[in-house]
Amino acid sequence: MMMNVSDDITAHDCLHLCVWATVPRLLQLSETLKSEADDYYINGAWTIDWPRKFDIAGTAFHYKRPSDEPESLGALGATTEILIVMVLLQEQNMGIRYKFNVPIQRTGSGDNEVGFSWHHLPWSECSATCAGGSVSSSSSRASDLLRWFIGDWSECGKTCDGGMRTRTVVCIRRIGPAEEETLKDTHCLTHRPIERESCNNQSCPPKWVPLDWSECTPKCGPGFKHRIALCKSSDLAKTFPPAHCPGHNKPPVRIRCSLGRCPPPRWIPVVLFLGSHLTMSALPPI
């Protein structure tokens, strides 16, 4: 991005030109460079520095002051702190020219990024055997020598409610027509594609959740156990009407049971006095 600043600035005015941080920039202007805390790095505080390289805020600033051109200050960045560029005008304002690079915002998986590097061919033989000669070489920009090998995604770990899937991502270099070698990730020029991501994030449908069985009744002989089956959300946090869950796979809510055969009935004599008559009867088993 290129911008010019020239209006409404007169001699002896001090212009706060721009503030930036943590992104690659390139600046060309007449300047004083300082921090937000008013620590002067280049010029300022009644001193003028000689043109040279300055290591400031995590990058190298190159300060130039040629005799036939305006002063300039350049840095590729990125910077590690906010810096302030100030311009002190002592002559007629000829305008200020500056430019900077907008940082790249990387999004997505990184699968389609392409990086380039220089591939250097061997030096030629010297053009003379003595008294000085020259050698030459050629370079080509190659994008296929270093690249990311990206494997296929695995199956998702879950069919719903959010699972994870993975793939293999390796930095490789081509060293022959059909031969490649594995390198450390730092050798590849683009940022590493993702190797793990979420999948099947949709909610699972409601499901039946049965409660515990009751005790078998009666206490002997054939009987039944009962339980309740609830229609619940996949995270068990909500209960829905039974119609929200599929009826074909509803778990049973009653099953047969037995605690063993009941003992056989037996007679128990009981003496009853009813007036002057004596009656014997048998009671059912207890």
Q: Which residue has the higher pLDDT, 257 or 96?
A: 257
Radius of gyration of the chain (CA): 43
> Which CA distances in Å does 250 have to 59, 203, 210, 231?
67, 20, 9, 9
Question: Is residue 186 helix, strand or coil?
Answer: helix
* 218-254 tens-digit pLDDT: 888 899 999 999 999 988 889 999 999 998 999 999 9
Task: Say yes or no to pLDDT of 285 above 90.
Answer: no
Q: Quote the mean pLDDT of the chain.
A: 77
Domains of the chain: residue spans and CATH: 2-100 (no CATH), 144-203 (2.20.100), 207-258 (no CATH)
The yes-or-no verdict on residue 154 having pLDDT over 90 is yes
Looking at residue 240, its pLDDT comes to: 92
Has residue 156 got a pLDDT over 90?
yes
Are 185 and 195 a contacting pair, CB within 8 Å? no
In angstroms, rounded to a whole number, what is the distance separating the alpha carbons of residues 35 and 53?
17
pLDDT band at 213 (very low <50, low <70, confident <90, very high): very high
Q: Which stretch of 22-26, 188-192, 225-229 has the lowest confidence by average pLDDT?
A: 22-26
Determine the residue type at 50: W
3-state DSSP call for residue 259? coil
**What SS3 state is found at 145?**
coil
